[in-house]
Chain A
Amino acid sequence: MQIVIVGVGGQGILFSSKVLGEIALRRGEKVIGSEVHGMSQRGGSVISHFKSGDHFGPLVQSGDADVLLAFDTDEAIGNVSFLRSGGTLIVNCDDPARFETGTMGEYLRDKDIKVLSVDGYGILREKMGGRFLFLNVMILGALVASDSSGISMEDMASAVMDLSPERFRDDNIKALKLGFKR
Chain B
Amino acid sequence: MSERRILLGNEAIARGVVESGCAVATAYPGTPSSEILPAIAAYSDEMGTNTQVEWGANEKVALEMAIGACYAGKRSCAVMKQVGLNVAADPFMSVAHQKLDGGLLVVVSDDPGCHASQDDQDSRSYASAAKIPCFDPSDAREAKAMVADAFDLADRYGIMAMLRPTVRVDHCRQDVEIIENVVSQRDAVFDRKPAGKRIVMPAVIHGFLDDHSARFEAIRGEFGAMDRYNFEVPSEEPANLGVIACGISYSVVRDILNRLGRKDVSILKIGTPVPLPVNLVEDFVDRHDRVLVLEETQPVVEGQIPNRTAVMGRWNGWVPKTGELVPEVVESVLLRALGVKEDLSDREVFNKIEEELSPERRRPRLCPGCSHRPAYFSIRKVFPDAVVASDIGCYGLAIAQNAVDTNICMGGSVTAASGIYLAFKADGKGTDRPIFATLGDSTFFHSGMTGLATAVYNRHAFVLVILDNRITAMTGGQDHPGTGDKMRSGEEGVSVSIEEAVKGCGVKWLSVLDPYDIEKNKKTIEKAWEHASSNGEPAVIVFRHPCITMLKVKPEYRPVKVDPSVCIGCGICIRDFNCPGLVWDQATGKAMVDDRYCVNCGVCVAVCPKGAIVPEGGDR
Residue positions of A touching B, CB distance < 8 A: 8-10, 17-18, 21-22, 25, 30-45, 50, 55-64, 73-75, 77-78, 80-81, 98, 102-104, 107, 121, 130, 132
Contact = CB atoms under 8 A, between A and B. Distances in A.
7 contacts: A31-B6, A32-B139, A39-B116, A39-B397, A42-B394, A78-B359, A103-B356
A55 B172 CA distance: 12
A63 B352 contact: no
B254 A56 contact: yes
A60 B255 CA distance: 10
Interface in B155-193: 168, 171-175
Contacts of B413: none
Contact of A57 (B254, B349, B359): B254
Interface centre among A18, A45, A61 (most CB of B within 10 A): A61
A102 B356 contact: yes
Nearest to B352: A103
Given A22-B6, A32-B139, A36-B171, A57 B353 contact: no
A21 B363 CA distance: 28
B361 interface: yes
B116 A44 contact: no
Given A22-B6, A44-B363, A75-B359, A31 B173 contact: yes
Contacts of B365: 42-44
B226 interface: no
Nearest to B474: A38
Contacts of B331: 61
Nearest to B30: A38
A34 B251 contact: no
Given A9-B364, A62-B328, A102 B115 contact: no
Given A58-B172, A104-B353, A38 B359 contact: no
| CB-based closest 5 A-B pairs | A38-B31, A38-B116, A44-B364, A57-B251, A58-B172
Contact of A34 (B172, B259, B474, B596): B172
B556 interface: no
B357 A104 contact: yes
A61 B327 contact: yes
B312 interface: no
Contacts of B352: 103
A32 B476 contact: no
Given A43-B580, A77-B359, A32 B346 contact: no
A118 to B, nearest CB: 15
B32 interface: yes
A74 B328 contact: no
B362 A8 contact: yes
A81 B174 contact: no
A60 B168 CA distance: 12
Contact of B362 (A17, A30, A44, A98): A44
A33 B173 contact: yes
Contact of A74 (B32, B174, B359): B359
Interface string B118-150: 000000000000000000001110000000000
A104 B356 CA distance: 9
Contacts of B362: 8, 43-45, 74-75
Contacts of A103: 349, 352-353, 356
B239 interface: no
B250 interface: yes
Interface string B344-356: 0010011011101
Contacts of B580: 43
A34 B168 contact: yes
B366 interface: yes
Interface string B9-41: 000000000000000000000011011000000
B524 interface: no
Nearest to A50: B173
Contact of B327 (A8, A22, A33, A59): A59
Contacts of A21: 6, 173
A94 to B, nearest CB: 11
A98 to B, nearest CB: 6
B6 A43 contact: no
Interface in B417-446: none
B367 A42 contact: yes
Interface string B238-273: 000000000010111011100100000000000000
B574 to A, nearest CB: 14
Interface string B320-343: 000000111001000000000000
A34 B256 contact: no
B596 A61 contact: no
A42 B250 contact: no
A82 to B, nearest CB: 11
A83 to B, nearest CB: 11
Given A17-B173, A30-B175, A64 B259 contact: yes
B552 interface: no
B252 A59 contact: yes
Nearest to A75: B359
Given A9-B364, A98-B357, A130 B595 contact: yes
Given A56-B139, A61-B255, A35 B356 contact: no
B168 A40 contact: no
A132 B580 CA distance: 15
Nearest to A7: B362
B46 interface: no
Nearest to B4: A25
Contacts of A78: 354, 359, 361
A54 to B, nearest CB: 8
Contacts of A39: 31, 115-116, 364, 397, 474
Contacts of A37: 31-32, 34-35, 116, 171, 476
B475 interface: yes
Contacts of B256: 61
